[in-house]
Amino acid sequence: MKYAFYPGCVSRGGTPELYTSTMAIAGKLGIELEEIVGASCTGAGVLQEKGLKLGDTLNARTFAMAERLGLTTILNICSTCQGVMAQANQRLLADADYLAEINEELEPEGLEYTGRVVIKHLAWVIVEEVGLDALKALVTNPLPGLKAAPFYGCYILRPSSALGLDQNPGREQYLERIIEACGAEPVNFPGRLKCCGFPILLINERNSMKMVADHTISAKEHGADCMVTPCPLCHLNLDGQQPNAAGRAGRKIGVPILHLPQLIGLAMGFSPKELGMNQHIVSTKAMVEKASVRA
Amino acid sequence: MQANLRVSRYDPEAPEPSARMQDYQIEVPEHFTVLDALIQVREEEDPSLAMRCSCRASICGSCAMRVNGQARLACKTRLSAVAAEGEPVTIEPMGNQRVVKDLVVDLGLFWNKIRAVEPYLQPAGDEPEEEYIASDESMQNLITPMGCIMCGACVSDCTALEVDENFLGPAALAKAYRFVADPRDGASHERLQTLNEYGGVWDCTRCYMCVEVCPVGVAPMDRIMELRDSVMNEVGVTTPGARHVESFARSVARSGWLDETMLAVDSWGRFNIPKLLSQAPLGLRVLVRGKLPLPWPFHHKRAGAEFVGRIFKRWESRKQ
């Protein structure tokens, strides 16, 4: 299965271990990735504050580039990119005149978006196209006893109409299903569908850190050894800012935050180092020992 | 069908008041809503169950409550749509507000925030002899915010309010938009100045929770994003939130992708030395782990960045 791969800005910047771990597991899963070279940022909801049409034009450019590669499914590894692209695609497909206006902006680059692109996050591709049975068959190093709390990230869940959750209600449970397929135990906790606080980290740090503390402490109190997220922006806040949040909360937290492909990679037998887990801010050592994976 | 309801109960007059869950199994017709089922419980099983409801037709906004963890109008939610095989339907009072009894919350916080945005027209100049005139086109974008039924569902599930009660919240900000965007209002500039402050438009996390739970399609977050653009245009780029947007746009327009490090520096303020110094330990930790994204001028351009820059230029010239 071949996909137009959109790595997003953050897997090429602040969380390079997401890129590394995605590449590590993709081949084993039979996922062939052709990167959309030259694709721009989706806008991440921020450029959309200046105007939806600006963001939609940038995303239509990326969709047209995927079509030029002869591919119709874009594979994302970021909840935010997934949500922003899905919303842009929904608007573009809903109004032929709007799409034509936007295509005029792409014309100087020789691009045209014809509306054939489907946008899927890696988690969706694994469950809906690779299949959980196929994933289980690739698990050589199951993670029994490891309790993992899923943390989805807003944009892979909401707005549900743009993300096809009405047609695919199971998407709200895919992380749990993948965690189970890896032989680990999913932990249910109140924050799993909430905001990590990253969008306001640079705007209202106090509120952002309260969200990090609330979610990580809650996950820990519900028994989690680690949290798992399909969103690198959530990772930046929950992992990168966890010491800051812990300091403000006046207590130790120490909950490792795994990117989704890292959890899968551990179950497939990759070493933590091969998955870039040595690049985390919060140590993954105790969790790795508990999961009995090779160091 | 059999309805298995797990309802949150709270009696403030109990010797030691605390919330507890109570299960009810009742037989109901297939077409019943959650509200129909609760009313049946109250009338036939347990008259002590307290809830608010009135019109039963999604108009009055009285019966907002959390069903399976998400704020909904009980009268607009079919029981069969939320009942999973073998699982009870969980019904709790709205969040972010003080519970008075069972499913009834104190709406004081909600109304205080609505009042804080001065939800009435403040026209400038002399009163016209007859009515104020507004064109059809100028009122089109007010239709959705004017549809708000004040149910409080968005306030219940707002993730920013959950951590900071000072935030105006989605309902009040959507209401503020309704007056800022009204061509008859003469106080838009002052309103936007207020909304630019702490607790205003920049404290929204853009989590889409309010968009998801609003039962009438007001999409408060989308209105907040429009207010942010108005604030930047009318009041200026004076806050970390506004600088965040401008820096983001600058880096994507220049290189095609996000300059994460410069985004942080610009948002705090390039000359905010105490803040920049305070981030040194994190910067060092990230550097040691080999993942500090190099900022401008080392942030490389992506292939075709000139075409991205062109899209920005054309968009800006059209906007002006």
A20, A36, A42, A49: best to mutate for the B interface, most B CBs within 10 A = A49
Q: In whole numbers, what is the pLDDT of chain B averaged over residues?
A: 95
pLDDT at res. B155: 98
Decide if A204 and B202 are in contact by the 8 Å CB cutoff: yes
pLDDT, average across residues B222-230: 97
pLDDT one-digit tens code per residue, A13-71: 999 999 999 999 999 999 999 999 999 999 999 999 998 999 999 999 999 999 999 99
B315, B318, B320: best to mutate for the A interface, most A CBs within 10 A = B315
pLDDT, average across residues A141-166: 95
Q: Which tokens belong to A219?
A: 């996950």
pLDDT for residue B108 is more than 80: yes
Share of chain B above pLDDT 70, in %: 100
User: Among all residues of chain A, which has the CA nearest to that of B249?
Assistant: A47
Decide if B203 and A207 are in contact by the 8 Å CB cutoff: yes
CB neighbours of residue B98 within 10 Å = 10
pLDDT at res. A49: 93
Contacts of B176-180 with C-beta under 8 Å, sequence gap 24+, read: B176/B117, B176/B119, B176/B227, B177/B145, B177/B223, B177/B224, B177/B226, B177/B227, B178/B119, B178/B142, B178/B145, B178/B146, B178/B148, B178/B223, B179/B117, B179/B118, B179/B119, B179/B120, B179/B121, B179/B122, B180/B227, B180/B230
Residues of B in contact with A53 (CB under 8 A): 315
**Chain B: closest CA distance from residue A202 (Å):** 6
Q: Kindly list the distances between the CA atom of residue A237 and the CA atoms of A58, A214, A229, in Å, as whole numbers in the listed order.
A: 26, 12, 11
pLDDT at res. B125: 86
Residues of B in contact with A194 (CB under 8 A): 159, 162, 207, 209
Decide if A57 and B244 are in contact by the 8 Å CB cutoff: no
Handedness of CA A236, A242, A243, A248 (dihedral sign): positive
Residues of B in contact with A200 (CB under 8 A): 160, 202-205
- Choose the weakest-confidence range: A200-209, A238-247, B163-172, B292-301: B292-301
Query: What pTM value is reported for the model?
Result: 0.95
pLDDT one-digit tens code per residue, A241-290: 999 999 999 999 999 999 999 999 999 999 999 999 999 999 999 999 98
pLDDT at res. A293: 58
pLDDT for residue A134 is more than 80: yes
pLDDT, average across residues A4-15: 96
pLDDT for residue A294 is more than 60: no
pLDDT at res. A295: 44
Q: Which tokens belong to B70?
A: 């998400």
ipTM for the predicted complex comes to 0.94
Residues of A in contact with B225 (CB under 8 A): 48-49
In chain B the domains, ranked by start, together with CATH numbers, are 2-104 (3.10.20.30), 108-127+135-234 (1.10.1060.10), 242-319 (no CATH)
B54 touches chain A (CB under 8 A): no
Closest partner residue to B257 among A9, A48, A105, by Cβ? Answer: A9
User: Among all residues of chain B, which has the CA nearest to that of A210?
Assistant: B163
Beta-ladder partners of B23: B6
What is the per-residue burial (b if ≥16 Cβ within 10 Å, else e) of B219-257? bbbbbbbbbbbbbbeebeeebbbbbbbbbbbbbbbbbbb
Residues of B in contact with A58 (CB under 8 A): 252, 308, 311
Alpha-carbon span A77 to A18, nearest angstrom: 8
Of the CA atoms within 13 Å of residue A115, those in its CB half-sphere come to 13
pLDDT for residue A228 is more than 90: yes
pLDDT at res. A291: 83
Alpha-carbon span B109 to B65, nearest angstrom: 16
Q: How many residues does chain B have?
A: 320
Share of chain A above pLDDT 70, in %: 99
pLDDT, average across residues A159-184: 96
User: Among all residues of chain B, which has the CA nearest to that of A42?
Assistant: B257
- Choose the weakest-confidence range: A70-79, B2-11, B107-116, B289-298: B289-298
User: Among all residues of chain A, which has the CA nearest to that of B245?
Assistant: A46
